[in-house]
Structure 1
Amino acid sequence: MSKSYVKLTISSDIGYIEFFHPNRNSMPSDVLSQLVKTIQEAGNNDAIKVIVLKSGGDRTFCAGASFNELIAIENAKVGKVFFSGFANVINAMRKCPKLIIGRVQGKSVGGGLGLAAATDYCMATVYASIKLSELSIGIGPFVIEPVVTRKIGLSAMSQMTIDAETFFSAEFAKEKGLYADVFETVEELDEAVITLATKLASYNPEALTEMKTVFWKGTDHWDTLLTERAEISGKLVLSKFTKKTLKRFR
Structure 2
Amino acid sequence: MDESNLVNGKPVYYWVDVKDATVPSDAGFVALVNCTNITVQHVELYNNGHGILLALTTDSMVALNSFTGNRVGVGIYQSSRNTVSENYIFNNGVGIEVGDSVENEIVGNSIKENNGWGIRFTGSQRDNIIYRNNFIYNKVTDGLQVSIDKRYGPGLGNRWDNGSEGNYWSDYATRYPNATQIEGTQIGNTVFYINENNQDNCPMLTQTVIPEFSSTALVVILLTLVSIGSVTYKRKLTKN
Task: Give the TM interval when normalised to the shorter protein.
Answer: 0.3 to 0.5
Which of the two has higher C-alpha Rg? 2
In terms of fraction of residues, the more helix-rich structure is: 1
